[in-house]
Amino acid sequence: MAQKRWKIKGSAPAEIVERLSKDINVSSVIANLLWHRGITTYDEAKLFFRPQLSQLHDPFLMKDMDKAIERIEQAIKNEEKILVYGDYDVDGTTSVALVYSFFKNQTPSNSPKGGESEDGSTIPKYHTTDKQMWKLLHNKAVEMRNNPTPAENIMWQLLRKHGVDFHFRRQHLIDRFIVDFVCLEKYLVIEVDGDIHDYQKQEDDDRTDFLNRNGFTVVRFKNEEVIGNVDNVLKQISNKLHSLPLSKTPPAQSLSPLGRDGVGYHFIDYYIPDRYKEGYGISTAGIDFAADNNFSLIIALDCGIKAVDKIEYANKKNIDFIICDHHLPGDKIPDAVAVLDPKRKDCPYPYKELSGCGIGFKLVQAFAQKNNIPISHLEQYLDLTAISIAADIVPITGENRILAYYGLQHINHSPRAGIRAMLELTKMKRELTITDIVFVIGPRINAAGRMESGKKAVEMLISATSEHAVEAGNYLDKNNSDRRDLDIYTTQQALQMVADSSVLQTKKTTVLFDPNWHKGVIGIVASRLTETYYRPTIMLTQSNGVVSGSARSVKDFDVYEAISACSDLLLQFGGHKFAAGLTMLPENVKAFQEKFEKVVSSSITDEMLIPEIEIDAELNLNDVTPGFYNILKQFSPFGPGNMNPNFMTKNVSDKGYASIVGKNHLKMELLQNGQAKGIPAIGFGMDEHYEFVAKKNPFTVCYHINEQEWEGKSYLQLQVKDLKK
């Protein structure tokens, strides 16, 4: 195990510790932990332990927010088509899911006029004005959707398998008729017929006649065709989709919102670029898609702050952009209608560390604020914000802590269908933490964009039904399994490359290149190598004639700045202090490896190349009590800027039960100063210390405290980070 350096944090001034301890009735250790987090008064402590949505900043403090909302309101009023565009990673897909889900309920096609539903909301006005009839039809459509015939089920699976399902809704009400499948963008209806009786034939003829008169094309298939000749069925559907023009006007009649789980609404849609064909950020292909499909406004999320040339291209096509990004801007701000980014030098917004999804939430919050929508109506989206905060490793301080706090509550107590399906797949029974999202939820969402298409992740996140969510969740889980296998294989190759090179072993950086590596896993593998060798690491691969890379750094070293110093060898780059992406021409790889090593070596210190453990306080083992832990839990959610506290205890020894569990984990029961009662402890990957510990030798231990459950009973456990003999 690599050597680690311990850094003990300083202590708060005695008068602050004394006052906090008295005012909120906590120990001096807890008071000191609060001081480390900038909390010095009772009121600050109260808001820290009980975050409130009312603490969120006014979104209109963000530069250009007024312009963004004005442009969106104009688009809605004029019935323009809006495209929500986001990156293919967790932050991007959660951003798209949030903004799309919110605004699809604000667009004209989704603000139907007429009667009232059973819950008091408005329902579409249909050919029949009989509310009771509408309710009966609505209920029948839901029942039919939940109980499809074998042929209807095969048709849906067929559409899904070949990706064209994106445009379709199932068992959809049009006027007084229920159609099997409808693509509103192309006015195409697909009907799957069973055994036709005379009365059914007349009903089918009436339905077809009505649909034709209202501009729909109807394609019918017999059950036996769908079940027995799927290739021909798919070919007919694909040909018809390509031959029909895109509708430029909404259907004459308002349509039932029973559709394909919220996807394919007429005035708003979403777009996730293909990782391998289009690359990161705003693409020319994405803008062309918008132009070809009559979108006049694009809301770009988690990307775009450096897309100066792409915005110029969009402007020439009369497509407006609203950019919502959280990455560092370049020298020039894109010429978009609005550019929302707290990291802009001219942006006065008081909190600078929002995730991309966090910026998306502020956009939604601003729209809600201006249009008198209560903030309580936005809480349903905070689960997505929490997932992005965790997965993007942004600081859990300020607004991020409030958003993560409420988002985790939503995930744990009323998860959306997609998250619930994922939790069932992973068999997670306990309440999720930020760490669980980072290692369990995040990778599965990310896997879609890494292995195939990030659209599948959005599809799962916006699923309105358990059936659809489980199907999408299974798809993502399979992608994640494939990704994990590829990750392991690539990591082994990379580690072997370093092991085989005495030159690489002596460098202060690791920059590896293999044109055959999968682009979707190089970021994960870069993290693995950083953990192993603890130095700035870049993994490079090649596709479409360009070399792409993913960089990871070590604590206190700014890898983004180091890459920026090599920009003369790059086509583009972006990111932040601890992680970045870059592209270059193949002929520049060797020169980049040499220059990056030179740049890093000139500025990194030997101390930075040794993993550091920050220790918050020294404890005696008898201080580790349920009461102490219950207060400690209220410091969560834990993450960067608010890490789970590490404690140090001197002169401990094992009670005599030390053992190796799993592959290489050290299990102990620790005592201090000869106490009779020990406390369970586990050191992951620390089997090298077994012989020393088993002999009951005294040592100093560094750990954080967690809670475990066994046979229905909970107990405290020390998770050992390191020990010193």
Question: By the 8 A CB rule, do 420 and 461 touch?
Answer: no
Question: By the 8 A CB rule, do 446 and 391 touch?
Answer: yes
DSSP-derived 3-state class of residue 523: helix
**Is the domain of 404 the same as that of 318?**
yes
Helix (H) or strand (E) holding 352: none
**Is the domain of 651 the same as that of 605?**
no
**Is the domain of 136 the same as that of 12?**
no
**Is the domain of 196 the same as that of 310?**
no
Alpha-carbon distances, residue 625 vs 352, 402, 615, 619, 635 (angstroms): 37, 28, 19, 11, 16
Q: Which pLDDT belongs to residue 119?
A: 38
Question: By the 8 A CB rule, do 630 and 25 touch?
Answer: no
**Is the domain of 395 the same as that of 510?**
no
**Is the domain of 281 the same as that of 375?**
yes
Within a domain: residue 324?
A: yes
pTM over 0.75: no
Query: How many CB atoms are located within 10 Å of the residue 52 CB?
Result: 11
For residue 263, give the nearest of 453, 98, 83, 100 by alpha carbon: 100
**Is the domain of 383 the same as that of 508?**
no
**Is the domain of 97 the same as that of 129?**
no
**Is the domain of 178 the same as that of 296?**
no
The series of mean pLDDT values per 10 residues for the chain, 725 residues long, is: 82 92 93 93 92 94 97 90 89 92 68 32 39 67 76 76 61 78 81 60 76 85 80 81 66 35 57 76 91 93 93 96 93 96 96 96 95 88 93 90 93 82 72 82 65 67 64 61 74 90 91 88 87 93 89 91 94 83 94 95 92 93 93 92 94 92 93 85 93 94 91 89 92
Last residue of a domain, one of 609, 630, 661: 609
For residue 252, give the nearest of 168, 170, 175 by alpha carbon: 175
- Domain membership of residue 577 as a residue range: 501-609
- Report the C-alpha gap between 670 and 673 in whole angstroms: 10
Within a domain: residue 433?
A: no
Within a domain: residue 252?
A: no
Q: Which pLDDT belongs to residue 224?
A: 80
Q: Which pLDDT belongs to residue 364?
A: 96
| Half-sphere exposure in the Cβ direction for 87 (13 Å, CA) | 25
Number of domains the chain contains: 4
**Is the domain of 147 the same as that of 235?**
yes
Q: Which pLDDT belongs to residue 524?
A: 83
Q: Is the peptide bond before 637 cis (omega within 30 degrees of 0)?
A: yes
Within a domain: residue 618?
A: yes
User: Which residues touch 17 (CB under 8 Å, ≥6 apart)?
Assistant: 11, 28, 31, 32, 35
**Is the domain of 136 the same as that of 203?**
yes
Within a domain: residue 439?
A: no
**Is the domain of 145 the same as that of 201?**
yes
Q: Which pLDDT belongs to residue 448?
A: 53
